[in-house]
Structure 1
């Protein structure tokens, strides 16, 4: 057992014992006996250095270090000779070392060039077949170069007419509305729809203002309104406004190009295009929140017309105003569904006459036959059947009776009650007009003097 308090360790390795241990045959001990002196050296010379060696700077730790000259021979003290330059490496040696022969390199270059040529040829064929504009078998239509647009182009018409179309803003207390208008006179008279300004007509404190194409804003006053045709004239105090040129709506034919200009949804200066879809289309107007209850002899167009276009211009290809945009037919509830290609404008021939009377007198008198009628059809012919005749009216004086079916007023055919209204309204008060009726299966022509 190991003694208490003494730690036992493993014996050293055999290699360490051989290197640092005592020789096996040595009989000397590591300790001297008491009083024994060390052995005297058996030589007289110093063990490590000669006499005076203590002053050798290599032996003296306190000696300072001194840098000497470079370790070079006396022959090399002069200028060194420029080393010889070896041969430069070739591209082949840089890229491939010395493992590729020049013939192999030439063959690789030839293959690369051949692949590039074939790839380019195939790419060109593919591009030409996929693009008809570069296919030599396709004949392109010729286009004549020109610096300007044709005189009748939409851009040219819009440039001339847009400055004559204004935005109209109406505010009554906390409520408001907007629409469009057309400047028809140099004194600042603007033609628009009655339903655009009707809410401000009899309301104290109502404000009507116009905004021109260049951003100029000016207050306006109502000159006159006509409920039966949904037209109104307002006046703006401005200097030298751009005035629209009025055209001839009776000369329009179905298919003619037209342009609608106005401020739909508050977007001023909006231009849309279309054609005349129909003429002499009776359309009844009954605007919600207005006193409008009119039947117009409308121009139908597929030019996009939306709320806010009301009162704007319908223009022909020459830039002349041929109608006042007034209504749309829509599939949306409350007429808010937007344009579906069914827009209606008041013919400018009717609007011109109404505007002149409103500017001159502030009101308009309309010819009246003096009957109430409803639309009827017997499967062969359509007409307006008289429901009652007003006492003292033109119809009563002409001998028109209840039950008569009116089929013609003057030279215009009548196929419905609304068409009877617009046919009579096209005549002046006091004019004598032949009225064709069907009574008990017989046609009669009665002359009526309109009142």
Structure 2
């Protein structure tokens, strides 16, 4: 063992290390092993291919990092100005942004380069005088007699005052004559207390109004009103079926009639007909009833005056006037939530204002005779637009008599269902179905036949055929015309009852 201590061998000269190479003599040198290098890192930071030892400038076939050209916008914003040197420092003596010929200072005292010369003193303007004290006010005496105002000035003022007064007086007089006063305490209104002659409409209204009634129906959930008119002293009242339909279908409903003198009495349904929208009520123990006079609707002329009575929107004793606009107008009435009426009426059309609540009231002529029963309106928004329809009294009377006698009524029928057809070949009611054994079947009518005339009445649709058949008499032969396969034929049919 050597006498040299261990620390000397570690920190001092190592006898086993070669001084020229630094290697230990007799010991093989192990290669340095570090962390593995990724191919991407080696491609960027490693030696180019074919180079050993130090780096050379020989280009490599491997892709080398490239510096991309700057964005044009960034180059314009942060690049050197055109024509400048490589340095970013600007010439401190440059005059960029300044005018070459600057104006000389206006004040030579402020220009250090101005030559010495004589000039005006610093204070060239005289000082303004101080405020003066206000003198004593001039009175009228000093003005007129103080000899301080020229006489011509006083004369001018006097003339101006006179002119102003005269002009004001003239203008006031003129305005008083041209513009009358707004108020006056001398006016008295003249009243003519002589008896005014009643017109025809007023006379008719006075005569008919006592026979017209308002009908009210109240159920547990709703209430409605309509109109009617007395046709017999026993207390029979004619109205529309759709007016009292809710009372007929609800045993708990309350049905009342209100007369023109505000007498309110209960009513009962004597009979009703959903096919013609006619109904008859009965009131008891009412004395001194005024019965309406009935006319003849077959004698109506287009343009003749008529008067409608009723209680539109619950406003009883309402009277409106108009004319007969048309007759024999087929108007369908379909069932809805408040009525079971399913009818087509052969209506009188009028422009007399008819609104909801007028239904059931009388339509009378200029002599006060009932010629129709107000029934329906055509309205875009629910109110009258001059298109009102009434059931002709000549059709309402026989139905009312049958309802008073039996409580029900039957109607003529031929046993067909039809649809309206209108094309280049024919207008009429096309037969859709013929009931077996019906009058139509016995008359030889077939499906797709088009009925063009019935009992002398032209037929242009299914509603007109319904009206024409209902106006026929049961058991009485009727002539009709029909179209089949491009040809027109005639035949007869005997309506039966429904």
Q: CA offset at residue 146 of structure 1?
A: 9.2
Question: 1: distance between equivalents of 2:395 and 2:368?
Answer: 19
User: Is structure 2 residue 279 aligned with structure 1 residue 210?
Assistant: no
User: Is structure 2 residue 292 aligned with structure 1 residue 244?
Assistant: yes
Q: CA offset at residue 162 of structure 1?
A: 1.0
Q: CA offset at residue 399 of structure 1?
A: 0.7
User: Is structure 2 residue 359 aligned with structure 1 residue 310?
Assistant: yes
User: Is structure 2 residue 396 aligned with structure 1 residue 347?
Assistant: no
Q: Which runs of 5 or more residues in structure 1 are unaligned? A: 1-111, 125-144
User: Is structure 2 residue 430 aligned with structure 1 residue 390?
Assistant: no
CA contact (8 A) 1:281 1:300 kept: yes
| TM-score normalised by the chain length of structure 2 | 0.60
Give the length in aligned residue pairs: 312
CA contact (8 A) 2:216 2:256 kept: yes
CA contact (8 A) 1:283 1:296 kept: yes
Taking only aligned residues, the RMSD between alpha carbons, in angstroms, comes to 2.2
Residue in structure 2 matched with residue 282 of structure 1 by the alignment: 330
Q: CA offset at residue 203 of structure 1?
A: 1.9
435-444 vs 270-279, which moves further? 435-444
CA contact (8 A) 1:365 1:429 kept: no
Residue in structure 2 matched with residue 331 of structure 1 by the alignment: 380
Q: CA offset at residue 288 of structure 1?
A: 2.2
List aligned pairs for 1:2-17, cutoff 5 A.
none
Correspondent of 1:369 among 414, 428, 438: 414
Q: CA offset at residue 149 of structure 1?
A: 3.0
Measured against aligned partners, the alpha-carbon deviations of 1:263-297 in whole angstroms (never above 9, x if no partner) come to 00000000001111111000001242211111000
| TM-score normalised by the chain length of structure 1 | 0.66
User: Is structure 2 residue 349 aligned with structure 1 residue 300?
Assistant: yes
List aligned pairs for 1:34-53, cutoff 5 A.
none
Question: 1: distance between equivalents of 2:211 and 2:437?
Answer: 45
List aligned pairs for 1:54-73, cutoff 5 A.
none
Question: 1: distance between equivalents of 2:301 and 2:461?
Answer: 22
Question: 1: distance between equivalents of 2:221 and 2:196?
Answer: 51
CA contact (8 A) 2:425 2:486 kept: no
Correspondent of 1:409 among 444, 454, 471: 454
User: Is structure 2 residue 300 aligned with structure 1 residue 255?
Assistant: no
List aligned pairs for 1:36-185, cutoff 5 A.
148-150=197-199, 153-185=200-232
CA contact (8 A) 1:228 1:294 kept: yes
Residue in structure 1 matched with residue 19 of structure 2 by the alignment: none
Q: CA offset at residue 205 of structure 1?
A: 2.1
Residue in structure 2 matched with residue 272 of structure 1 by the alignment: 320
CA contact (8 A) 1:182 1:244 kept: yes
Residue in structure 2 matched with residue 235 of structure 1 by the alignment: 282
Aligned structure 1 segments of 4 or more residues deviating by more than 3 angstroms: none
Question: 1: distance between equivalents of 2:201 and 2:423?
Answer: 46
Is the partner of 2:403 in helix, strand or coil?
helix
Is the partner of 1:163 in helix, strand or coil?
helix
Measured against aligned partners, the alpha-carbon deviations of 1:184-235 in whole angstroms (never above 9, x if no partner) come to 1111100000011111113222211000000000100000010000110000
